[in-house]
C-alpha cells in the first residue's frame, strides 16, 4: 500500500473521514504534509501534544511564516485586524488570567442549576414536534436550545437569532484550513455589524447590570486592569459563538449516530440514567470538532513509522481529535457505538490540557437533555429523506435531518 495523503479536499474524506484517519494512523501516524506541517492521528501523540507546556496555541505569533501566497495573505490580514485575541488563541499568563474570570460560571454545580430550564425548553420543542408528527432536527431542536441557553447565560437579546446564526457560521468558516480570502472578507463584514451590536448591548448593560455572565465581565472590566474592553468583546464573541455553534453539531451528530445504531438507541431508551456516559460515547464517535492545532516552542520528537520525526519550533502540528477518538489502542472496536463503554470519557473531542473546552459541562448537559428526551419520547423515530452535512473539516456537523415520529 502507498503512503496515504492527507487530502481534505477529497469529497470521500469529507463524507466520512474515519477510514482515512485509520489509514493514516496505521501507515504514517506522524505525517509531514507537502506544506511542512505535521498531522498527528495517534491518541497518545495527540493527548501529549495538547497537555504539554512545550506548545503554543498562539499560531499567529509563533508559527513559521507560511510559504504559499494564500496562507501568507490570510495571515497578514489577520495580523492587521484590530481587537484582542480570544482566550482560545492565547498562551499563559494571559490565558490563565482570562480563563480564571469565567471558570466559576461553568463548573459542574453552576451548570447543573440550568438543567430545569434546559428541560423546559426541550419539552416545549418536543411537544410542538409531537403535535406535527416530526421535525427538522437542526432548525427545530439542535440550534434553538443551545442558542437560547447561552443567550440566557449572557442575558443577550434573542430577537436576532437567525442573523446571529448566519453570522456565526460565517465567522467559524475561518477556522477551516480551506478558508479563502473571500471568507475573510465576509467575516470582516460580519464583525463590522456584530461589534457595534455588542457595544450597544454592553453600554446598555453598564446602566442596567444583572446577575448574568456579561454583567459580571463588565464589572471586572470597569474594576481596573484585569480585563480590557477589546478583551471583553472578544471573550463575549467566543462564548456566544462557541456556546452554540458546536453544541448544535453535537446534538445533530449524536442523533444521526443513534439512528445508525438502533440497538443503542433502544438501550438508552430503556435506561435513561445512562445519559452522561452516552453523551461521552457520542462525542467519541463523531465529535463536532475534528481537529485543532498547536505550535512547538522547542524541538519535539515524535516516533514515526520510519523513525523519529522532529517538530521544530514554528511547525504547525495538527492534532486530529476525531482520529484519536478512533484509535484502537485506546478504544476497543472503535467504530462500534457502545453507550456503556467504560472508558468513553477518555475521548479528546473537547481537547485536553489548559484549553480543554470551557463549556464542556454545559455542552454535556444540553446534549444529555435534548438527545435523551428525544430518545425517551420517540424511540421509533426515523429519518425521512436524505441527510445533508455541512461542508467543513474542522467543524463536522449534520446540516439537515428530517425526523418522523
Ligand atoms: C459539543 C460542544 C462543544 C465542543 C465539541 C467543543 C470543543 C472545544 C474544543 C475542542 C476546544 C479546544 C480547542 C483547542 O484546544 O484548540 C474548546 C475550547 C473552548 N470552548 Fe468548547 N466545545 C463545545 C461547546 C462549548 C460551549 C457550550 C462553550 C461555552 C459556553 C464553549 C466554550 C469554549 C471556550 C471558551 C474554549 C476556549 C477555552 C480555552 O482556550 O481555555 N464550548 N471547545
Domain ranges of the chain: 11-404
Second-level CATH architecture of 11-404: Orthogonal Bundle (1.10)
DSSP letters spanning 19-73: HHHHHHHHH-SEEEPTTS-EEE--HHHHHHHHH-TTEES-HHHHSPPPSSHHHHH
pLDDT above 80: residue 7: no
Share the mean pLDDT of the chain: 92
pLDDT of 5:
59
pLDDT of 133:
95
- H or E stretch at 137: helix 137-137
Closest listed residue to residue 344, CA positions, set 359, 364, 370: 364
Whether ligand 1 lies within 6 angstroms of the CB of 317 is answered as: no
| C-alpha 24: how far from chain center | 23
CA of 350 to the centre of ligand 1 (A): 6
CA of 230 to the centre of ligand 1 (A): 20
How many secondary structure helices (H) and strands (E) does the chain include? Answer: 18, 10
Contact assessment for residue 381 and residue 401, using Cβ atoms and an 8 Å cutoff: no
- Report the pLDDT averaged over residues 314-334: 98
Mutate to test the pocket of ligand 1, among 48, 56, 152, 242 (most ligand atoms within 8 A of CB): 242
Rounded Cα distance between 191 and 198, Å, is 10
Whether ligand 1 lies within 6 angstroms of the CB of 144 is answered as: no
Whether ligand 1 lies within 6 angstroms of the CB of 359 is answered as: yes
Rounded Cα distance between 387 and 295, Å, is 36
pLDDT above 90: residue 375: yes
Give strand pairing partners of 15.
none
Whether ligand 1 lies within 6 angstroms of the CB of 238 is answered as: yes
Atom 39 of ligand 1 has which residue's CA nearest to it? 355
Cell of 206: 453598564
Pairing of strands 300-304, 291-296: unpaired
What pTM does this model have? Answer: 0.94
Whether ligand 1 lies within 6 angstroms of the CB of 17 is answered as: no
pLDDT above 60: residue 241: yes
Encode pLDDT of 206-233 as tens digits: 999 999 999 999 998 888 778 899 999 9
- What is the DSSP-derived secondary structure letter of residue 346? G
Rounded Cα distance between 136 and 401, Å, is 6
pLDDT above 80: residue 74: no
pLDDT above 70: residue 1: no
Whether ligand 1 lies within 6 angstroms of the CB of 118 is answered as: no
Amino acid at each position: 500500500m502507498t503512503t496515504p495523503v492527507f487530502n481534505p479536499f477529497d469529497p470521500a474524506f469529507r463524507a466520512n473521514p474515519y477510514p482515512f484517519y485509520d489509514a493514516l494512523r496505521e501507515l504514517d501516524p506522524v505525517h509531514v504534509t507537502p506544506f511542512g506541517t505535521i498531522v498527528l492521528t495517534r491518541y497518545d501523540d495527540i493527548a501529549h501534544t495538547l497537555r504539554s507546556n512545550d506548545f503554543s496555541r498562539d499560531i499567529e505569533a509563533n508559527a513559521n511564516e507560511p510559504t504559499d501566497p494564500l496562507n501568507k495573505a490570510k495571515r497578514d490580514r489577520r495580523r492587521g485586524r484590530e481587537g484582542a485575541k480570544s482566550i482560545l488563541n492565547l498562551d499563559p499568563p494571559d490565558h490563565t488570567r482570562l480563563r480564571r474570570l469565567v471558570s466559576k460560571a461553568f463548573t459542574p454545580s453552576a451548570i447543573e442549576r440550568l438543567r430545569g430550564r434546559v428541560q423546559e425548553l426541550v419539552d416545549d420543542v418536543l411537544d410542538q414536534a409531537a403535535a406535527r408528527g416530526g421535525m427538522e432536527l437542526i432548525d427545530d431542536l439542535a440550534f434553538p436550545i443551545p442558542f437560547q441557553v447561552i443567550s440566557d447565560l449572557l442575558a443577550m437579546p434573542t430577537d436576532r437569532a437567525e442573523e446571529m446564526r448566519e453570522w456565526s457560521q460565517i465567522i467559524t468558516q475561518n477556522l477551516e484550513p480551506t478558508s479563502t480570502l473571500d471568507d475573510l472578507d465576509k467575516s470582516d463584514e460580519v464583525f463590522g455589524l456584530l461589534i457595534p451590536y455588542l457595544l450597544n448591548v454592553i453600554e446598555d448593560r453598564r446602566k442596567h447590570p444583572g446577575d448574568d455572565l456579561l454583567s459580571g465581565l463588565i464589572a471586572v472590566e470597569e474594576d481596573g486592569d484585569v480585563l480590557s474592553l477589546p478583551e471583553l468583546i472578544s471573550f463575549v464573541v467566543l462564548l456566544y459563538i462557541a456556546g452554540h455553534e458546536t453544541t448544535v453539531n453535537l446534538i445533530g451528530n449524536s442523533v444521526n449516530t443513534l439512528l445508525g445504531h438502533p440497538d443503542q438507541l433502544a438501550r438508552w431508551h430503556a435506561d435513561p440514567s445512562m445519559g452522561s456516559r452516552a453523551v461521552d460515547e457520542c462525542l467519541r464517535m463523531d465529535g463536532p470538532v475534528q481537529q485543532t492545532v498547536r505550535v512547538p516552542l522547542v524541538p519535539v520528537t515524535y516516533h514515526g513509522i520510519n523513525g523519529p520525526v522532529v517538530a521544530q519550533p514554528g511547525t504547525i502540528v495538527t492534532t486530529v481529535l476525531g482520529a484519536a477518538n478512533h484509535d484502537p489502542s485506546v478504544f476497543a472496536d472503535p467504530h462500534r457505538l457502545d453507550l456503556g463503554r467504560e472508558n468513553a470519557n477518555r475521548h479528546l473531542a473537547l481537547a485536553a490540557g489548559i484549553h480543554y473546552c470551557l463549556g464542556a459541562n454545559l455542552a454535556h448537559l444540553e446534549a444529555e437533555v435534548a438527545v435523551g428526551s428525544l430518545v425517551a419520547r420517540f424511540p421509533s423515530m426515523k429519518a425521512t429523506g436524505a441527510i445533508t452535512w455541512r461542508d467543513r473539516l474542522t467543524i463536522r456537523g449534520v446540516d439537515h435531518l428530517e425526523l418522523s415520529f
